[in-house]
Amino acid sequence: MPSRTAIPLHRRRQAVLCSHLNPRENNVNQHKGMGVHLLLGTGIRNDTCGHTHRDWFSYQEGELYLQVPAEDKCRKDTRNAVCGKCDPSEDRPFYPKTPTGGGRMIHIGNSYYDYSSDERRYFGLRDRVESYFGISPQGEQEIGGFEMIQANSNNGASIGTLNKWVREVCTSAGISKQERKIRLRKELVPKKGENGNIVKTVDEMIANNGTDDQGRPIPDVFAHDLRATYCTQLCRVSNPNYSKIMSKTGHKNEETLYRYVGFASDELDPSKDKNMF
């Protein structure tokens, strides 16, 4: 389990990751790309992403949506072993983490607003979803489409696998381990015990993931950070519509979203900061 709370990617790092995930460029493995892209573009939780099934997607007036079910049979291919999160009964049902997390209709689009450059840019999540799962507005099942995200040639991905993929894709995208550490140091607070003493410092919370097989430093980022990034993106507008946002994120209380507004307003932008005074 992560040793810290989720912290979103800075808008510039988000833009870098979005560019790297461009399905037209084929920069990442298709399975890793699908998992990471879906986490970033929908804000669904790690376990929900690992259970995502082709049946969860549908079209409304030509637009593609992902509907997170309130309950669904666990359809992971676990090779005679039960899912690590679902009830080990015959039907092994999947439930979202919270009741408000079920039934959400999340738009799957091809563009996003890049707040680092103040322009709408190609995102390509719809293109990736349609290609990967073999779906189309015409309702015809395309040959070669997958039923679920594939991990080790099996249907479904585990929480650990998706966290690993997030780190690998962020590393290959060139997201700086040091810049990520600066962001985490800025946003995290020390963990204190009941007596008020610090039991874990901020630096102790930041994971040292070493380097990948190409010698590239691996930044501290995991799947829930991408959920936080999605929530922060929705809160970057001048007057966030919290009711609308909650219908997409599955949060129960409006107050929970305030931290994301804070994340957005606290993002450093030296090029703009120098002209503030």
pLDDT digits (tens, 9 = 90+) for 244-258: 888 888 887 888 888
Q: What per-residue confidence (pLDDT) applies to 14? A: 97
Cα–Cα distance measured from residue 103 to residue 166, given in angstroms and rounded to the nearest whole number: 25
Q: What are the structural domain ranges in the chain?
A: 11-271
Assess whether pLDDT exceeds 70 at residue 1.
Answer: no
Higher-pLDDT residue of 260 and 55 is 55
Cα–Cα distance measured from residue 166 to residue 96, given in angstroms and rounded to the nearest whole number: 21
Q: What is the DSSP letter of 217?
A: B
CATH homologous superfamily for the domain 11-271: Intergrase catalytic core (1.10.443.10)
CA proximity to 169, closest of 1, 40, 4, 7: 40
Average pLDDT, stretch 61-89?
84
Higher-pLDDT residue of 216 and 138 is 216
Distance of CA 129 to the CA centre of its chain: 15
Cα–Cα distance measured from residue 41 to residue 61, given in angstroms and rounded to the nearest whole number: 20
CA atoms within 13 A on the CB side of 260: 31
Assess whether pLDDT exceeds 60 at residue 276.
Answer: no
Tell me the pTM: 0.91
* Run of H or E including 66: strand 63-67
Q: What per-residue confidence (pLDDT) applies to 273? A: 60
